[in-house]
Structure 1
């Protein structure tokens, strides 16, 4: 219909997180690869290792932004860090354009898709801070 109006998707949840990068550095220095394996999903871990090899500071910033993204996302979906949410089940990867994308693994993926529509994430870092903002849409009816 020519006069039909499309309304914007309803927001189901939002979440944000702000973290001092030096806190991530301390955890990484204390726990090393165990910390990375606990926090990052498989594709994130690959990207972290490549960045860290080129520039250790850039690797830490990557780790901090991904940590913040997981915190923000967990708040947006209302779970916090309770099952089925787990650090490594939510990844922030990038589209070819550079846009950050939420990629989920089961069982979180199945739980999420039964309740919500698309998820959106934005990440940034500056000086000693990393920040993420997440927004999830309501499931289309």
Structure 2
């Protein structure tokens, strides 16, 4: 059953301006350690790729926070929500600390889609309740 849906569109130019104004502190506020390492590597090779990476992560975390109904209120924090990729390249949400515990206690799972173009990054997130019994009922 759907728990919540969230969507976000982010102006990449706004993210670029924030980076120019605040430097790496802005990225350090939004990204957790593995994301920050990826951002630094992409930025070193091609700065624009780093900006778009940060914009997609920003957008995905906003969409996720809306889907769980918390916005940016504890236990939802920028760095407790990691946007990673499965081996297939599919984006996935990896949660840390109190947010991970909050999410698990409600039996939730997340589906995430992200996209970016020159000026915009967009994300769509569906969070659903994970009922193991409903999975088993279809197996008889």
Q: TM-score, normalised by structure 2?
A: 0.91
Quote how far apart the aligned CAs of 1:96 are.
1.1
Aligned-residue RMSD, C-alpha:
1.0
Which residue of 41, 62, 75 corresponds with 2:53?
A: 62
Which residue of 125, 129, 136 corresponds with 1:138?
A: 129
Quote how far apart the aligned CAs of 1:99 are.
0.6
The aligned runs of 1:1-141 (5 Å cut-off) are 10-140=1-131
Q: Secondary structure at the match of 1:88?
A: coil
Q: Distance in 2 between matches of 1:50 and 1:104?
A: 22
Q: Distance in 2 between matches of 1:127 and 1:33?
A: 21
Q: Give ranges in structure 2 of 5+ residues lacking alignment.
A: 134-140
Q: Give ranges in structure 1 of 5+ residues lacking alignment.
A: 1-9
Aligned residue pairs, count:
132
- Contact 1:116/1:138 (<8 A) preserved: yes
Quote how far apart the aligned CAs of 1:40 are.
0.3
Q: What's 2:136 paired with? A: none
Q: Distance in 1 between matches of 2:105 and 2:38?
A: 30
Deviations 1:59-102 (A, max 9, x none): 00000000000000000000000000001110110111101010
Q: TM-score, normalised by structure 1?
A: 0.90
Q: Which 4+ stretches in 1 moved above 4 angstroms?
A: none
Deviations 1:1-24 (A, max 9, x none): xxxxxxxxx111110000110000
